[in-house]
Amino acid sequence: MPEYLFPPDFLWGSSTSAFQIEGDCQNHDFYRWAIKGHIKDGSNPNDAVHHYRHYIEDVQLLQEMNHNAARIGVEWARIEPQEGFFDEAALAHYRDELMRMKALGLKSMVTLHHFTTPLWLADQNGWFNPQINDYFCRYVQKTVAFLGDLVDFWLTINEPNTYAAESYFRGIFPPGEKCFWKALKIGKIMSRVHCQAYATIQQVYQKENWPLPQIGWSLAWIYFLPASGSMLDRLAKQLIEKLFVGTYLKKVQNHLDFIGMQYYRSDLVKFPLINTPHPAGEKSKLGWDIMPDKFYLALTECWQKYQIPIIVTENGVCDDHDELRPAYLVKHLYHLWRAIQDKVLVKGYLHWSTLDNFELAEGLSCRFGLVHVDHESPERTRTIKPSGRLYGEIIKQNGFSQELLERY
């Protein structure tokens, strides 16, 4: 019996998003952004990973790693390639993927929006279009009516806080704007749309007489610490927490069955609002501070503040040679286990990511997968990494031993 045992019905799995692994889609704004030269290594999501072609073997990989759950994304730009036209073949594709997951006994989580916007909407002011509520909910209604009987958990929008920061403040995701006011405003828009989408999903299930699913959204959850003991830095930490997470939960907390927590790292905050890395300590290839103990703090503080069940919908590390990932995984799971012992209601853990994927502004030059993808080979050959095997063993035992923890 492992010393660090998880609850019997704990969800164990990994996460992906549609556009970061599917390939073969030129119909969304991230593709257009990529071919305009905004990606560090010059790669683009259309040529990446080819999960759309290889989804059958990719579902098998989940089973090989003993998953009992998995998060996938569906691509709005495929499902509704032109305004008001819904592509049944795309929906049938996702239906087949979900049926295969179900046949293997996997619980499914599906993300409806993960950073990409169809071109037809991007060209009409994107999320600032006054009809965004109607557009998004119409897409949600069609998709949920087609797939809902196979889905256990829905995520309406992935990381609206990152979307606001990267698309409208730092300008490194499309549409590449740098406007503080717009970054604030998009948060409000997405919160409103989330609440409407939450109701839309429930209505579809009620109409179809299906048991209600769990609906949430996911937030990037950096654990902030003041850069010094000065009052100004402490104030800056409070403010950034409020802007980055607080406002996103306050507005939607009555429309969340769970919070999707996406924890990767901890940052220091300096006055007025500058987040910087810690001066020392272990870092990932992206320079992110690896701080598993802050994961425990993020989980416990989140539960104390909001009392909404948590599912860890992302946690992982950029590490090209799988040198950091095994220890990263075990240490983060240890701190997650501690939080559960302290009565924090965490229902599951989905590692980011199943496969080496198209890592946003970094492109293909940054690997997050439990499964290696040979980006050069025509078949994009997949190989489970040692961390993927290790994770599979942990899942099989529903925990891990003291000996394993000490090894890392």
Q: How far is the CB of 223 from ligand BGC (least distance, A)?
A: 14
Within 256-275, which residues bind ligand BGC (CB under 6 A)? 262
Per CB under 6 A, the list member of 22, 58, 80, 159 interacting with ligand BGC is 159
Q: Which stretch binds ligand BGC (CB under 6 A): 49-57, 158-166, 273-281, 386-394?
A: 158-166
Q: Does 370 bind ligand BGC (CB under 6 A)?
A: no
Q: How many CB atoms lie within 10 A of CB 7?
A: 13
Q: How far is the CB of 99 from ligand BGC (least distance, A)?
A: 25
**Residue from 270, 303, 272, 268 nearest 287 by CA:** 268
Estimate the crossing angle of helix 88-103 against helix 132-147, to 10 degrees.
50
Q: Does 346 bind ligand BGC (CB under 6 A)?
A: no
Q: Does 289 bind ligand BGC (CB under 6 A)?
A: no
Q: At 314, is the secondary structure helix, strand, or coil?
A: strand
Q: How far is the CB of 116 from ligand BGC (least distance, A)?
A: 10
The answer to whether 391 and 65 have CB atoms below 8 angstroms apart is yes
The answer to whether 163 and 182 have CB atoms below 8 angstroms apart is no
Q: Does 284 bind ligand BGC (CB under 6 A)?
A: no
Q: How far is the CB of 226 from ligand BGC (least distance, A)?
A: 23
* Strand runs labelled E in 279-345: 310-314
Q: Which stretch binds ligand BGC (CB under 6 A): 1-9, 50-58, 156-164, 251-259?
A: 156-164
The answer to whether 211 and 151 have CB atoms below 8 angstroms apart is no
Within 199-228, which residues bind ligand BGC (CB under 6 A)? 220
With a CB cutoff of 8 Å and minimum separation 6, the contacts of 37 are none
Q: Does 16 bind ligand BGC (CB under 6 A)?
A: no
Estimate the crossing angle of helix 386-397 against helix 325-341, to 10 degrees.
20
Q: Does 111 bind ligand BGC (CB under 6 A)?
A: no
Q: Does 27 bind ligand BGC (CB under 6 A)?
A: no
Token digits for 163? 């979307």
Per CB under 6 A, the list member of 314, 324, 349, 372 interacting with ligand BGC is 314
Per CB under 6 A, the list member of 156, 158, 315, 387 interacting with ligand BGC is 158
The answer to whether 65 and 370 have CB atoms below 8 angstroms apart is yes
**Residue from 400, 318, 309, 402 nearest 365 by CA:** 318
Q: What amino acid occupies position 31?
A: Y
Q: Does 371 bind ligand BGC (CB under 6 A)?
A: no
Q: Does 61 bind ligand BGC (CB under 6 A)?
A: no
Token digits for 124? 């009409």
Q: Does 161 bind ligand BGC (CB under 6 A)?
A: no
Q: Which stretch binds ligand BGC (CB under 6 A): 120-128, 157-165, 186-194, 319-327?
A: 157-165
**Residue from 121, 132, 220, 134 nearest 175 by CA:** 121
Q: How far is the CB of 151 from ligand BGC (least distance, A)?
A: 19
Measured distance CA(345)–CA(214) in Å, rounded? 15
Measured distance CA(162)–CA(275) in Å, rounded? 14
Per CB under 6 A, the list member of 70, 197, 344, 360 interacting with ligand BGC is 360
Q: Which stretch binds ligand BGC (CB under 6 A): 47-55, 137-145, 155-163, 300-308?
A: 155-163
Residues at the site binding ligand BGC, with contacts judged by CB under 6 A: 17, 20, 158-159, 162, 220, 262, 314, 352, 359-360, 368
